[in-house]
Structure 1
Amino acid sequence: MSATRVLLLHGYSSVNRGDGLLVDESLQMIREVHGQDVVIDLVTSYPESFQYTGLKSYCSKPSMRGYDLDYLRLILSKFRGYDLVVGVGGGYLRFGTPLESIKTLLVMGPQLIAAAASPSRTVYLPQSIGPARFGFGRPLRFLLSKLNRVWVRDNRSLEQFGVGEVARASDLALLAMQRRSLPYDNRLTPVISVREHRGGVPQGAVVLASRIGEFDGYVQSAVAGNDDESAVHSLKPSKICTFKEFIDSPKSARVVVAVRLHAALMAIQAGHYVVHLAYERKGFGAFEDLGLGDFVFNVHDFSPSDVEDLVTQLLADPSAREAYDARIFAASESIGQSRGNVLKSLSKNSARPNVEAH
């Protein structure tokens, strides 16, 4: 019997740690369902960044000379020859501004169109879809309706694009989350991780950093148009935490303010206490699923004093940290059910899963 062949779409770059995490978790779930012998090919904007996976990769990002020929052949084949086509989790189907719409059309559009036309089973892992301005709403709904299963990770996406086999699940980072238990050292300062959005570092984050005083910084992404280094340095942190000391193998829990969602979720998994300043709908969905809905704020419309109060409480009050931990533990059962539903949808002969848990 030949090995199952799977094509994973919509990869970006592993240098953006959040996007790398989403690809890694997608691969883990595919292998959990189809075994370690499954053959997986990857479509990504930056294939060189995923060399560590050992997968055959196709470059989806057009150059000045146009699309890569191997990628074009793959698209024109409508992915025939694959048993399963999977869209990585994320927030890449967006048509909010003219520039964003052009990028989505050029990079993500051909993949979605080919997936919708493919004879293979097609499953898109938990997405935030939209906004869909400039008349893109109707064609986007049409293409999504042609897929076998589309998981969305927030209620707003479900309300706007709940067509065909669209259903709610938790973010991939939540589905895989196993939170560390770390000792707390009250001598440590908070950590702030920011990015530019709408042309600069959001003003509320700048004010918050000035109110908090001493803090360390953390850079979540340093790739192309998603490079956060200058944004983080502009707040003048005492130092920049490395990925190893902050996420991979921290020795103590920290109180964290994070703008990128997966900086926030990776910090929670690492054992830290996080307040999230969200710039998209995905952040509210994830923190609500964690039972932490009052720890997420709109990065462009929040009270710095309110967030400062939460940070101060988490820094000083052990009972506040215990309550934070208890909420995450309480949410783990429903997140586990959500994970089971997503795994079932990846099987070859999947029946429609029970989607009432989320």
Structure 2
Amino acid sequence: MLWLPPGSRRVSHRAERIRCRQEDATASGTSSLVAFRSPVKHPVIAIAHAFSRRNAGDGLLLDLTLERIRRAGISLARCRLIALDPESFQEEAGRLESVRHSPGEPWGRLSRRLIPAGGNVLGAVASLPHPPRLAFSATPRALTDVGAIVGIGGGYLKADRWRASMGLALNHLPSLLLAARLDVPSVYLPQTVGPLRGPVGNLTRRLVSRVDHVFVRDPESATEVQTGHVSLAPDLAVLHLADSWPTPPPMLSRSRQARPVIAPRPLPRPAPYEQRLHTLAQLLDDPLYAVQSRGLEGRSDEAFISRLDARSSGALSTLLQHHTGGVVVSVRLHGALQALLAGRPAIHLSYDRKGTAAFRALGLDRFVHDAWTFAPGTVQEQVRHLQAHPAEQHRTISQRIPDLQRLSREVQRRIDEVLAPVL
């Protein structure tokens, strides 16, 4: 069984709305639609909160989301992608119903793309404490004719500092407003939620409570959501690793000679983090540097690598595909998980609790470190150890596979259940 917070119940907000509508209809003597059934024979399934294919981790999460929808018996030709950077998903345009723009600015800068999103947020705030209403934006036009909403997995529901709160409000609240407002089935795939603080956090918590089912990646997220229709499940990439097990075997023959790979990313409060990366690079003696995200300069791994006075060796996916390099030390969680999927030993320098939760699920707790406080000497020792014993992580993960595969089936069962009315 999937984990639920103590005292919680599996009751969807949509089911509660239906129950209230039934009671109103009984009191007035009129009929009521007891359960949702789309008036369209094959309604569109909206996939909300996609970011950009320029970020390899976000691209992987979209691929795994589409696979889950396909396994639910729904053709991808019925899926509509709502993305902050739709231009990066041109490959999907030919196989999905459409790719639409979500109001917001994907690269953290001021632009006119923020105006429609701001209108939505103002409309929601103005309507409190009543059910959220919508102002003007591309999102209502992209979502109001759909039969179900699937929220892509990730860590975008966060409002702790002002910058994160603004990013959540302008880039993600418009889609969350629709999922909360529309009387259609909705499910959000494994999330890291919170901290949710201040007005934006409070509004987000209220809107999430109206989604039919929410999967979260750690117990702290379940506490933040504070709703009865939440389940604990690992990141989709962890479940995919379990479903595709055994992965390619470790590179036993050339592990000692292969240069380790560092896949860094820019982070806030950079001074202690960058200093430790410099020290780690010196200890590892000429590592390769790999790129996971090619956004604008503030979010570009390539620009960050240049700032470290190093040179990029290319995309991490390309290095893995061509069997270049050895042990991977990745700051992005999905970089570490992609390495494991390729049969490569991996160490994760985590900047968020999602990383700790994912590596704990795999039994690799000791190979995850805080990105700001990690000891370079300890990480170097682990790299050398994995170079000498590349099958160790493979054996450890193997012991967790049965439980992870069971969880994966439970997640799919719940997705099937939520999307059943629109088959």
Using the size of structure 1 for normalisation, the TM-score is 0.89
Is residue 187 of structure 1 aligned with residue 226 of structure 2? no
Question: Which aligned pairs between 1:195-234 and structure 2 lie closer than 5 A?
Answer: 195-200=265-270, 202=273, 203-224=275-296, 225-234=298-307
**Residue in structure 2 matched with residue 11 of structure 1 by the alignment:** 50
CA apart distance, 1:327:
1.2
User: Which of 371, 379, 387 is the matching residue for 1:299?
Assistant: 371
CA apart distance, 1:253:
6.9
Q: Structure 1 pair 40/139, CA: closer, same or farther in 2 (3 Å)?
A: same
> Alignment identity in percent?
31
AA partner of residue 61 (structure 1)? P
Q: Structure 1 pair 158/190, CA: closer, same or farther in 2 (3 Å)?
A: same
Is residue 322 of structure 1 aligned with residue 391 of structure 2? yes
- The answer (yes or no) to whether the contact 1:253–1:273 under 8 Å persists in 2 is no
Q: Secondary structure at the match of 2:322?
A: coil
Is residue 110 of structure 1 aligned with residue 174 of structure 2? yes
Hey, what's the Cα distance between the residues in 2 that align with 1:173 and 1:114?
Answer: 26
Question: Which aligned pairs between 1:114-125 and structure 2 lie closer than 5 A?
Answer: 114-125=178-189
Higher helix share: 2
Count of residues in correspondence between the two structures: 346
AA partner of residue 53 (structure 1)? E
AA partner of residue 13 (structure 1)? S
- Provide the aligned C-alpha RMSD in A: 2.5
CA apart distance, 1:324:
1.1
Q: Secondary structure at the match of 2:391?
A: helix
User: Which of 210, 218, 227 is the matching residue for 1:146?
Assistant: 210
Hey, what's the Cα distance between the residues in 2 that align with 1:294 and 1:88?
Answer: 29
Q: Secondary structure at the match of 1:34?
A: coil
Hey, what's the Cα distance between the residues in 2 that align with 1:117 and 1:138?
Answer: 17
Q: Structure 1 pair 305/298, CA: closer, same or farther in 2 (3 Å)?
A: same
Is residue 175 of structure 1 aligned with residue 239 of structure 2? yes
AA partner of residue 399 (structure 2)? A
Hey, what's the Cα distance between the residues in 1 that align with 2:383 and 2:277?
Answer: 13
Question: Which aligned pairs between 1:24-63 and structure 2 lie closer than 5 A?
Answer: 24-36=63-75, 39-54=78-93, 55=96, 56-62=98-104, 63=111
- The answer (yes or no) to whether the contact 2:48–2:151 under 8 Å persists in 1 is yes
Using the size of structure 2 for normalisation, the TM-score is 0.76
CA apart distance, 1:30:
0.5
- The answer (yes or no) to whether the contact 1:43–1:57 under 8 Å persists in 2 is yes
Q: Structure 1 pair 115/276, CA: closer, same or farther in 2 (3 Å)?
A: same
AA partner of residue 414 (structure 2)? S
AA partner of residue 149 (structure 1)? H
CA apart distance, 1:114:
1.4
Hey, what's the Cα distance between the residues in 2 that align with 1:73 and 1:134?
Answer: 24
1:299-333 CA-to-partner distances (Å, cap 9, x unmatched) read 11222211111111112x22xx3221111111222
Hey, what's the Cα distance between the residues in 2 that align with 1:37 and 1:22?
Answer: 15
Q: Structure 1 pair 300/335, CA: closer, same or farther in 2 (3 Å)?
A: same
CA apart distance, 1:79:
3.8
Is residue 310 of structure 1 aligned with residue 385 of structure 2? no
Is residue 130 of structure 1 aligned with residue 194 of structure 2? yes
Larger radius of gyration: 2
Higher strand share: 1
AA partner of residue 22 (structure 1)? L
**Residue in structure 2 matched with residue 284 of structure 1 by the alignment:** 356
- The answer (yes or no) to whether the contact 1:183–1:253 under 8 Å persists in 2 is no
Hey, what's the Cα distance between the residues in 2 that align with 1:289 and 1:308?
Answer: 23
- The answer (yes or no) to whether the contact 1:78–1:119 under 8 Å persists in 2 is no
Between 1 and 2, higher relative CO (CA 8 Å, sep ≥ 6) is seen in 2
- The answer (yes or no) to whether the contact 1:16–1:221 under 8 Å persists in 2 is yes
Is residue 268 of structure 1 aligned with residue 326 of structure 2? no
Please say which of residues 83-92 and 33-42 is displaced more in the overlay.
Answer: 33-42
CA apart distance, 1:275:
0.7
- The answer (yes or no) to whether the contact 2:235–2:358 under 8 Å persists in 1 is yes
CA apart distance, 1:244:
5.0
CA apart distance, 1:53:
0.8
Hey, what's the Cα distance between the residues in 2 that align with 1:242 and 1:138?
Answer: 38
Hey, what's the Cα distance between the residues in 2 that align with 1:81 and 1:61?
Answer: 17
Hey, what's the Cα distance between the residues in 2 that align with 1:189 and 1:349?
Answer: 46
**Residue in structure 2 matched with residue 356 of structure 1 by the alignment:** none
1:17-63 CA-to-partner distances (Å, cap 9, x unmatched) read 10111111111110111243650001100111111012312211345
**Residue in structure 1 matched with residue 35 of structure 2 by the alignment:** none
Is residue 345 of structure 1 aligned with residue 417 of structure 2? no
Gaps of 5+ in 1: 352-358
Q: Secondary structure at the match of 2:257?
A: coil
- The answer (yes or no) to whether the contact 1:273–1:324 under 8 Å persists in 2 is yes
Hey, what's the Cα distance between the residues in 1 that align with 2:329 and 2:317?
Answer: 18
Q: Secondary structure at the match of 2:172?
A: helix
